[in-house]
Structures are given as structure tokens and as C-alpha cells.
Structure 1
Amino acid sequence: MKKFTTALTAGVLAAMPFTAMAEDSSDPIIIPIHNWSSQIVMSNVVGQMLEGMGNNVEYVTTDSQAVYESVRLGDVTFELEVWEGAFGASFRAALEKGGLHDAGDHNAVTREDWWYPMWTKESCPGLPSWEALNDCAKVFATAETGDKGRYLDGPVDWLKHGKERVEALDMDFVVVNAGSAAALWAEIGAAEAEKKPVVVFNWTPNFAEAVWPGEFVEFPEWVDGCDKDPSVGPNPNALYDCGNPAKGYLKKAAWDGMKDKWPAAYETLTKISFTNPQIAEMAKLVDTDEMEPEEAATAWLEANKDVWMPWTQ
């Protein structure tokens, strides 16, 4: 288990209230860390807030799907970014078992799906239609994909089901998984100079939308059950034959025992609600400004006292 020893600046610490914090256990609050920037920075932002309230905090790197089982068992204390499209199924499965609960939504709307930078539309003018994309498949072909298009999906552990969608919709694409979020940004950046058409997995909120204007591919509209019932969606014999939710939630999940063991910290957790621009700014501090996550968290806290200080009251 890795523990970061970064702390808020003296000025920020001095501004924080300390009244009812003796109620919280001295045991460390365990915060999971995943493999995309906003989640890492947000985890450090909240961790530093809780440290300023007098809590002990530790961070542990965890799988972004398995983390809900860890929260349910109390091995980690909470999860700050439950994306509906990516992790809704794992979250719901853990809820059904018991041991964790919905700790509230962020004031953010999420979307996760196939995406392209706007210059791509010059080579495939029928976009954002998925049928038009499929008709243009050869435009995205590479040496490794032959006469089929290349789609760069998210890391394998994000479970985006790109291969299943290609099969369900009979698309002329080969799905390649990126090793990290950074590999997705590198793909877009490498294509930018020559305005090479690319299609990659992307999501909002993150910093990329401010750097590279683009659009999501419009697949058949998400309907509940598309990932569980083959009869739902246009292909009656396959799952994942529709897009991800276009207006997905971003939730927090907490271990059931947190509210009794760390009541003050739990109350703060339930108040926390970040917006799309705030989350995008957290990611930008790392992905564009090249700050370390701990430094980015401190910088964000110092610049946004009016946002987070009421949550610690």
C-alpha cells in the first residue's frame, strides 16, 4: 500500500475547520487510485481535504472494475468516480451483494464512446453516423489492420466492449486496446500535425475536449438491457449493439461502514460534487501542465477554496 505524504499548504490548512473531527477513527481512510488523470487528481484532492480535517489517508492502486468489490468488503473506503458507461455494471453487481452504497452524484454529465477529432470529418463527411463511419472504414486502415479500419479502444480493464460492438454491428474495424489514457492522447497528438483521420475511445469530462475539438460517433441509442439482453437493440442475436449512455451519471460509492467509523469524513464525502469543468481542469493540470498528481491536487485546492471549503464545514 502506497502512502503519499503531500499536504496542503499552511494557508489552506489554516482555513479549514477542525471542530467535530475527533469523532473519526485514527485508522487510515483508504482511497483507490486508477489509471486516468481526473480520478488520480480528484482522489488526491479529496485525500488532502480529509487530511486537513485530521484524518489519516492512504492510497492504493486498484483495478477500476474490481474496486467495487474492494469497497464492498471495506478494503478501500470509497470510490470517487463511478462512470455509468464504464463501471455501472460492476457497481450494480456490488450493490446487489451489499456492503457498499451510492454516496451521491457529482454535478456532471458523462459520456464515453468512440470519438474523432474534427479534422477526421474531412475524410469521412457522413460522420457522426456510425454507418457512415463504417462506410469510411478503409480511411482508418493501417498496416496492422489490412483493409479494415483501426479503432483505438481504452485499456482492457476499462471493459469498453469495443470488439463486441464491432461484431454485433458487423463493422469493418479492428479494435486495438490502448495501454493507458496517455496512449489515447498520444494517438490524437500524433495525428494532429498531418490531420490524419483517427477514431479513438474518449470521454467527457476531460481536458481533451478543450485541446482537440471533436465529436462522438452516434451509434444506435442506448437502451437499458443492451448489455444483458440480445433482444434489446438492432441486432436480436448480440449484446452491445448500441452506444453508451449519452448523458451518463458520475457517482460516488462508499463502504457501508464508513459513516460509522469516519462520520465527519463521510459527511464531507456526501457533500462533494464536482462539475464537468472542474474535473476537466484537474485532468489538465496533469495531462497538459505536466504536474504531479499530488501537486495538481494542492494547486486545485488553493485555487478553488470557495468550492470545497463548504463541504468540510
Structure 2
Amino acid sequence: MKLKQILCCAVLSTGVAPAFAADSSDPIVIPIHNWSSQIVMSNVVGQLFEEMGSNVEFVTTDSQAVYESVRLGDVTLELEVWEGAFGASFREALSKGGLHDAGDHDAVTREDWWYPMWTKESCPGLPSWEALNDCAAVFATAETGDKGRYLDGPVDWLKHGAERAESLGLNFTVINAGSAAALWAEIGAAEADKKPVLVFNWTPNFAEAVWPGEFVEFPAWEDGCDIDPSKGPNPDALFDCGNPATGYLKKAAWDGMKDKWPTAYCMLGEVSFTNPQIAQMAKLVDTDEMEPEEAATEWLDANREVVEPWMSGCKS
């Protein structure tokens, strides 16, 4: 039975919310990564924990290694487990024990090669991936010679763009961006003269509202495409599938959290953000240029009706 169902049954049978032992005064350690929605979301949840009486500490953590940190209890939780980017690291940590799946957000995710709509004028066969080689020259730069240029996510996101290009025989050079901001800068620089551009992108984030575009449609994801060459169209290669088109966005928690911070853990089980809510969090930083802490406060002030129910059934 899920945590929400257990709490619901307890309230219905007694007429009052369940009581919890006092949370530890030790800080709940929340990791911070290198994209805006995760940073703002972490601050939103951290501020809610503080409202409920917990201490909170933020640490900058690698977005792949964080699952080992959660498993060992060095970090308490992770709020954005993207299936496409971090599913493999999450599953590996799960298999070792020490952390667990703390539930899904309502948001549905997608992460893949993407282009703004003006690009289609120069490559009308898109969104089919098979059109890319016919159009490689329009994406070429001085840096890539006669090959097309694809700007992938930061190295630590492990998007396997180079492996995808090789396994599908794409005439593209894959360059890794240094940060999410570099991806937005690439799109922004191409916008003025409608230069064709191909970059890594994902949803939910603010970009879909600013630059309408499409994901490249690669061969559909098959479970095992990243570990079994028989999956996907190339029987001799991995990563020859697109990322999941309807991916999950999960939360993960250290196994010891529920005993050490039972009230905060209760609320973590209730936390669930939607695509528009996550996109708005990112916009406050990436477009409105607010600091993440300020953005979190503003988002909370505008969404009290969303977060109050998360806390109300969990206050000791």
C-alpha cells in the first residue's frame, strides 16, 4: 500500500491526521544540480521542510553520482529522477540497497535531440531521424567541417549523443554543452537569423513556451536499448533508440529518512509537481533572472493552495 493510502486510511478511521515522532534536528541534506527546475524545486521543498520545523542543508552534487550519495545517507533525497537521463544510475543504486523509490510526480517527461521550428524550413524531412543525414550540411559549422553539429547536454547528464550518432550512422559531430544555460544560448543566438540548430532539450522546462519546436523522432525506446545490442534497429550497437517519449519523473529517498525525519518523509510522499508547475519554476530563473531561493519563495507564495495539503496531513 502506498504512503498516501496509508495516511488516508489512518485519517478516515480516527478522524485526525496520524502523529509522528519528532524529526531529528540534524539537517535534511538536499542536492543541487545544474538545471534550473531542479534547483528551484529543491528550494521549494526545502522551504516547506523548514516551515514544518526541520533543518535543511543544500549541497552541490553530481547528477549521476547523487544516487550513490542518497544510498549511503550522505544525501537525504533526490527530487528529480528523470527516466531518460538518470534512470540507469537510479536503478543501479536501487539494486545495491539503501535508497528507494519515493513516488512519481504528475509530470511526464521527454528528453532528446530537439530543434526550433524554423529549422524545419531547411530540413523539411524532420522530425524523422532519417532526414538528418540528408540535411547534415545545413547544421555544419567551421568546428565540424562537413559534418552536422549537434549540441548535447553536459557530460554528467550521460545522454549518449555520440553513441546514438555512431549506432545510427549519423553524419554528425556531437559537442557537449557546459551547462543548461549554454543550450539556451545556442538557441537564442540562432533565433535572429533563423539559423538551423540541433540541441538537446527536455520537457518540462520554460523553453517550450519561448521557442516552439519538436523532438527528433528516433526509433522508439525499447527497454534494454542501453544495455542489449539486440534492442533497436542496429543489432550490433547500443543507444540506437530514442529516449522514452513519456518518461517518469520520480523522487528517491534514503532508506533511513522515514525513521530519522518521519514528518518530512511523510510530506515527501505527498509532493507531486505537474509539467506547467515545473516549467514555471524554471522560467523564474532562466527568463525572469531571479535567484533560485527568491524564485522558490515567489512560487510558494503563488501556490499555497497546492502545497498546503501536502503538509496538513503530515504535521506532528
**TM-score, with length taken from structure 1:** 0.93
The CA distance in 2 between the partners of 1:297 and 1:34, in whole Å, is 15
> What are the equivalent positions in structure 2 for 1:220-259 lying under 5 Å apart?
220-259=219-258
| Aligned residue runs from structure 1 range 213-292, under 5 A | 213-292=212-291
SS, match of residue 95 in structure 1: helix
Q: Whole-Å Cα distance in 2 between the matches of residues 57 and 22 of structure 1?
A: 18
Partner of 2:202, secondary structure, is strand
Could you list the runs of 5+ residues in structure 2 that have no partner in the other structure? 1-17
Equivalent residues of 1:21, 1:53 under 8 A apart: no
Summarize the Cα distance change of 1:55–1:21 in structure 2 as closer, same or farther, 3 Å threshold. farther
* Residue 134 (structure 1) shift: 2.0
Q: Percent identity?
A: 84
CA-to-aligned-CA distance 1:243-277 (integer Å, 9 cap, x gap): 00000000000000000000000000000000000
Within 5 A, what are the aligned runs for 1:1-313? Answer: 23-313=22-312
Partner of 2:3: none
Tell me the TM-score normalised to structure 2 length.
0.92
1:102-141 Cα distance to aligned partner (Å, 9 max, x none):
0000001000000000000000001000011221001000
Tell me, in whole angstroms, the C-alpha distance in 2 between the residues paired with 1:82 and 1:310. 23
Q: AA paired with 1:128?
A: P
Distance 2:23 2:199 in 1: 44
CA shift, 1:163, in A, is 0.3
Letter in 1 for 2:287: T
Q: Aligned partner of 1:116: which letter? A: Y
Task: Find the aligned partners of 2:54 and 2:108 in 1 and give their Cα distance.
Answer: 30
CA contact (8 A) 1:82 1:91 kept: yes
Show structure 1 runs of 4+ deviating over 2 A: 19-22
For each residue in 1:116-171, what CA deviation from the matched residue of structure 2 results, as whole angstroms up to 9, or x when unmatched? Answer: 00000000001000011221001000000000000000000000000000110010
Root mean square deviation, CA, Å: 0.9
Taking structure 1 as reference, are residues 113 and 194 closer, same or farther at Cα in structure 2, changes over 3 Å only?
Answer: same
Structure-2 residue corresponding to 1:5: none
Q: Kindly indicate whether the alpha-carbon contact (under 8 Å) linking 2:30 and 2:78 is maintained by their aligned counterparts in 1.
A: yes
* Alpha-carbon separation, structure 2, partners of 1:259 and 1:119: 49
- Partners of 2:54 and 2:19 in 1: CA distance: 12
- Matched residues, number: 295
Residues 159-201 of structure 1: CA deviation (Å, up to 9, x unaligned): 0000000110010000000000000000000000000000000
| 8 A contact 1:24–1:263 mirrored in 2 | yes
Give the SS at the match of 1:209: helix
| Cα distance between partner residues in 2 of 1:232 and 1:42 | 35
User: Match of 2:5?
Assistant: none
